[in-house]
Homo-oligomer: A and B are copies of this chain.
Amino acid sequence: MKRKTKIVLDTSIFVNPDARRFFGKSPYEALTNFLEKLKEKKHITCYMPPSVYEELMKFMEHNLSPKKTVLLHKKPPASYQTPVPALFLYEFIEEIRKRMNKGLRITEKYIRKGLKGGEEQEMIKTAREEYRIALREGVIDSKQDFDLLLLAKETHAFLATSDNGLIHWAHKLGIKCLLAQELKEIIE
C-alpha cells in the first residue's frame, strides 16, 4: 500500500497558464483531467478551502458534477483556533512596510512623468500595473491565500501552488510545496 498523501490545492495550479498546461488546455479541462486521475489514487486526499473553491469555480467554462468536485474536500481551516507564530507577523509587517514605500516611489515617479505631459489613460494603466507588481506580487494579500497556508499547516499537507508569494510564506511556516509539474508526477 502506498503512503497516504495529503495535498491542499491552490487555484493557480488549474488557472495559471504555465501551471495548468501540465493537466489540460483550459481551467475546466485541467481540473477535470486532474480529478479523473485523482479518482484512482486512493492514497491521495486533496483539500481546498471553500473560499478558494469558490474562486476556482469562477474560472470554469462548464459546470462540474458533484461526483467530481466531492474529491476536492472543501475544508475550511480552523481559523479562530490556529495560532500563527509572532515571528511570521514581524516578517509580514516588515515586508508590507517595504512595499508601501515602493508604492510611494511609484506615485512620485508618475507625478514627475505626468508633469512632463502624456496620455492619461495610458499612463494610469502602466502606473496601475507597476503599482500592483510592487505592492502585491509575492505578498499574501487575500483571505484565500491565508486560508491555503492555514489549511496546509493544520492538516500537515503539501501545498500545491505555482504562486511564488504563497511558496515564500509557506516555507516560513514549514509547509512543503508542490509545483504543478511535481503534482503531475504524483498523480500520474
Contact = CB atoms under 8 A, between A and B. Distances in A.
Interface of A: 77, 79-90, 92-94, 96-97, 99-100, 103-104, 106-108, 110-115, 117-118, 120, 123-124, 127-128, 131-132, 135-136, 140-143, 145-146, 150
Contacts of A146: 86, 89-90, 93
A131 B100 CA distance: 9
Contacts of A135: 100, 103-104
B86 A83 contact: yes
Which 5 pairs across A and B sit closest by C-beta, in order of nearness? A114-B114, A83-B83, A107-B107, A82-B86, A111-B114
B150 A86 contact: yes
B83 A77 contact: no
Given A104-B128, A146-B90, A111 B123 contact: yes
Nearest to A123: B111
B112 A111 contact: no
**Can you tell how many copies of this chain the complex includes?**
2
Contact of A97 (B82, B88, B142): B142
B115 A117 contact: yes
Contacts of A106: 107
A124 B111 contact: yes
Given A103-B103, A114-B115, A140 B93 contact: yes
A65 B129 CA distance: 53
Given A93-B143, A136-B100, A120 B112 contact: yes
Contacts of A82: 85-86
Contacts of A127: 107-108, 111
